[in-house]
Structure 1
Amino acid sequence: MEKLINDFSFGLFFWQLFVVIVLALLLWKFAWKPILNALNDREQGIQDALDSAERARKEMQNLQADNEKLLQEARMERDAMIKEAREIKERMISEARTEAQNEGDKMIAQAKSSIQNEKNAALADIKNKVATLSVEIAEKVVRQELSTREEQQRLVEDMLDDVTLN
């Protein structure tokens, strides 16, 4: 270290200081400014990319929220449609039951009416046959003059045998 102090020269020191300062100024003008500008530009680009990513993330969240809302609305609409379809089905079944019941009641009423009509027709037919038989019996009785009680008895028995055979 002593050797450095003994060999120290102010002229050389001045020129070295001058070269270092000029070199620093040249570096500042031609190297540091472009390097700092490039670093600032890069920092700005990174910040823009981060901002863009944040905007994209927020937009994705908004889209997901919108999608979820749309899905919820679609589910609600689907549920409403299913409920409406079930109600329509139940109403159609109820109407079909009512209509079938009414048709069944009509058919039963018609069958009862038909049975009653046939019963009345059969009774009328029986009455007609009884009347015819009575007239025939009366006619036969009138044609024969019955003088005795035995002949009347025999005629009635013969007619009863004829009626039973028919």
Structure 2
Amino acid sequence: MNVPCNMQPTTKSDVYTFGVVLFELFTGRPAILRDPEPTGVTRWARQHMARGNIEGVVDPRMHGDYDVDSVWKAAEIALKCTEQASTQRPAMTDVVAQLQECLELEEGRTGGYENTSFYTGSGSGSSSNDPNLGYNAYASDGQSIDVS
């Protein structure tokens, strides 16, 4: 997609970018795939999803350890975020609410956070409302990774 240099980012372009990142997260693939020819992960995922093939879209390293309904919902959110017409993209508050529903589906499957192997939270135990705080990801081995 060619974007003129004088265009400024908007909340709707941020939503589009978030949709691409969401696709990258659950597919385990980069934004641009290079086999056999360069194509975007959004186009690749749309093609697979159009055939009803969510298992072919999800990162194989997940080994099927996910709620299929949750993944479909996350994929549909990513699709909405990456609509060509910016007016068709949801507001970020709607995206967050829908992702919360995905999380609830996963929590229902796993019994909550304590059984998951990855948790994100505020870095120093201070209020997560402070925009100056980074976020840490905690892998199952307890190692902290700054993801700010």
For normalisation by structure 1, the TM-score amounts to: 0.17
For normalisation by structure 2, the TM-score amounts to: 0.19
| Structure having the larger proportion of residues in helix | 1
Larger Rg: 1
| Structure having the larger proportion of residues in strand | 2
Q: Which has the higher contact order (CA 8 A, sep 6+)?
A: 2
